[in-house]
């Protein structure tokens, strides 16, 4: 129930509710619609590489993920807005029939799910939409992957935790404070129940430039303001271990391509940093005065609750993966190099 969102208890995945919300029943799975071969790069049966469907390519991480995967995969971009371009497919994750139609057309081997309502404050203001997109949307995609026998990587967040302690391992109990965190925690549960082979990757804060407006890339907005001489306020009490978008997208594609990898992982820098300190270091690196970085101490009105200390421990992924991501300073440097 949407009403359960925003509570501090761990959301549970309700399979009965799943069936009531239009996931595949036995009779729904009729793969009648032929793949629209002309819209994809080469005929599907002649493609040399495996097909990767990236859902949410118009956003911040999508921009990087498309670039990082082009060499290894035949990439199909799945987005809400229809472009009718080759290598694209239209889908709205909140609409199971649209997801199923896209899967019938594309027949992906691999799926990277980036699509989400990622604005935490917007989620708080519109919990039903947030739940439909982030929770049910992930469920629809996981169901479709299970039917298509496709590998899935689902992108989640440190906001599944309340941030009241320093350092969270993958197995720590979830304790979201916000609608966004609750919807993602519910989605994680659904994805893992429906598709045990799926990878669920959590991260706390992604840094980088999307180079376009309307995405979740904080640096685009901040640098634009600094260029105009406007100060930007950064919370002093929120600490995060960031990761840069380029490294993250390469990690996601590498994990997805390795059929041995499944389950829950955390990724991020080895140290955490307050958002205020991060703002100061970003300004310095971008060549702006520290006067343009202001401390934000109080909770701003209309701001969704956020955990204070979101430090995701990354020992698990580091044991099996050469991350290349080390300190927060190195993450910052990568954004500008």
Ligand X SMILES: NC(=O)c1ccc[n+]([C@@H]2O[C@H](COP(=O)([O-])OP(=O)(O)OC[C@H]3O[C@@H](n4cnc5c(N)ncnc54)[C@H](OP(=O)(O)O)[C@@H]3O)[C@@H](O)[C@H]2O)c1
Residues that bind ligand X (CB under 6 A): 56, 58-62, 79-81, 92-94, 114-118, 133, 137, 155, 157, 203, 205-206, 215-216
Q: Which residues pair with 79 in a beta bridge?
A: 90
Q: How far apart are CA 230 and CA 221, in angstroms?
A: 11
Sheet holding 239-240, edge to edge: 273-274, 239-240, 309-310
For ligand X, the closer of residues 14 and 216 by Cβ is 216
Cβ pair 146, 136 in contact under 8 A: no
Closest Cα partner for 16 from 100, 139, 114, 125?
139
For ligand X, the closer of residues 60 and 186 by Cβ is 60
For ligand X, the closer of residues 96 and 157 by Cβ is 157
At closest approach, how far in Å is the CB of 172 from ligand X?
16
At closest approach, how far in Å is the CB of 138 from ligand X?
9
At closest approach, how far in Å is the CB of 122 from ligand X?
10
At closest approach, how far in Å is the CB of 103 from ligand X?
13
Q: How far apart are CA 166 and CA 204, in angstroms?
A: 13
Residue with nearest beta carbon to ligand X: 59
For ligand X, the closer of residues 148 and 245 by Cβ is 245
Closest Cα partner for 56 from 148, 136, 133, 143?
133
Q: Phi and psi dihedrals of 201, rounded to 5?
A: -115, 120
At closest approach, how far in Å is the CB of 115 from ligand X?
3
For ligand X, the closer of residues 92 and 246 by Cβ is 92
Contacts 24+ apart (CB under 8 A), 248-251: 248/61, 248/64, 248/203, 248/206, 248/325, 249/61, 249/64, 249/65, 249/67, 249/68, 249/69, 250/68, 250/324, 251/201, 251/317, 251/321, 251/323, 251/324, 251/325
At closest approach, how far in Å is the CB of 308 from ligand X?
16
For ligand X, the closer of residues 32 and 269 by Cβ is 269
For ligand X, the closer of residues 62 and 235 by Cβ is 62
At closest approach, how far in Å is the CB of 203 from ligand X?
5
For ligand X, the closer of residues 199 and 205 by Cβ is 205
For ligand X, the closer of residues 156 and 262 by Cβ is 156
Cβ pair 292, 229 in contact under 8 A: yes
At closest approach, how far in Å is the CB of 56 from ligand X?
3
At closest approach, how far in Å is the CB of 183 from ligand X?
9
């Amino acid at each position: 129930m949407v009403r359960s969102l925003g509570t501090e208890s761990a959301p549970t995945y309700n399979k009965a509710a799943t069936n009531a919300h239009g996931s595949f029943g036995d009779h729904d799975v009729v793969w009648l619609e032929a793949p629209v071969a002309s819209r994809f790069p080469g005929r599907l049966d002649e493609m040399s590489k495996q097909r990767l469907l990236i859902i949410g390519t118009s956003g911040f991480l999508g921009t990087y993920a498309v670039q990082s995967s082009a060499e290894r995969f035949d990439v199909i971009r799945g987005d809400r807005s229809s472009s009718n371009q080759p290598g694209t497919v239209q889908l709205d994750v909140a609409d199971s029939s649209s997801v199923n139609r896209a899967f019938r057309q594309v027949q992906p081997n691999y799926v990277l799910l980036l699509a989400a309502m990622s604005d935490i404050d917007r989620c708080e203001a519109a919990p039903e939409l947030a739940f439909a997109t982030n929770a049910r949307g992930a469920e629809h995609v996981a169901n479709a992957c299970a039917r298509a026998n496709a590998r899935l990587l689902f992108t989640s967040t440190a906001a599944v935790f309340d941030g009241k302690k320093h350092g969270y391992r993958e197995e720590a109990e979830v304790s979201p404070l916000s609608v966004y965190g609750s919807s993602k925690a519910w989605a994680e549960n659904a994805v893992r129940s429906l598709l045990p082979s799926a990878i669920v990757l959590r991260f706390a804060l992604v840094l980088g430039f999307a180079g376009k407006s309307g995405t979740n890339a904080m640096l685009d907005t901040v640098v634009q303001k600094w260029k105009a001489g406007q100060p930007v306020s950064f919370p002093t009490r929120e600490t995060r271990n960031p990761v840069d978008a380029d490294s993250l997208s390469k990690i996601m594609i590498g994990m997805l391509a390795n059929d041995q990898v499944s389950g829950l992982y955390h990724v991020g820098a080895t140290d955490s940093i307050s958002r205020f300190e991060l703002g100061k270091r970003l300004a310095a690196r971008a060549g702006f005065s520290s006067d343009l970085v202001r401390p934000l101490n109080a909770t701003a009105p209309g701001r969704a609750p956020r955990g204070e200390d979101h430090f995701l421990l990354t020992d698990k992924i580091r044991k099996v993966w050469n991350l290349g991501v080390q300190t927060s300073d190195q993450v910052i440097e990568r954004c500008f190099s």
